[in-house]
Amino acid sequence: MLKGISPLISPALLKALSEMGHGDEIVLADVHFPAANLGPQVIRADGVGIPGLLEGILQLMPLDQYDPDHFALMEVCAGGTVVPTIWEDYATITAKTEPQTTPTMVERFAFYERAKKACCIVATGETAQYANIILKKGVVR
């Protein structure tokens, strides 16, 4: 255990965050996401919700200030009736460390294509639909 690091951040996730460089991306995936089929390393975070994990990650990793597309969400499919209230949680969390962050909405299949190029995918226990996030790492300011 280390001081100041969320207990939700596993050693494997801490290693991945540390190895990421400026512009590299990480996916926080809900339980519905096809993490194992896309190619990048999968880090398991079973039983962990994305809001707590997001808060822990943003305490350690800045988002890319030079790319407005540094925080991406999977948009609801056309004709879908789901209202992802978890996005409100994300807005509250990002406002604490990244107050200028406005999410970019990415169509489902475009999100999968972008996820294929990520450094890793964190497969969480989050059950909310459309809870998936892509974070682009920035530099410590």
Task: Name residues whose C-beta falls within 8 Å of residue 108's C-beta, 6 or more positions apart in sequence.
Answer: 74, 75, 77
Separation CA 54–CA 133 (nearest Å): 9
Cα torsion angle, 117, 129, 106, 59, sign: negative
Separation CA 138–CA 13 (nearest Å): 17
Tell me if residue 22 is catalytic: yes
Query: Which is catalytic among the residues 22, 32, 108, 114?
Result: 22
Residues with active-site annotation = 22
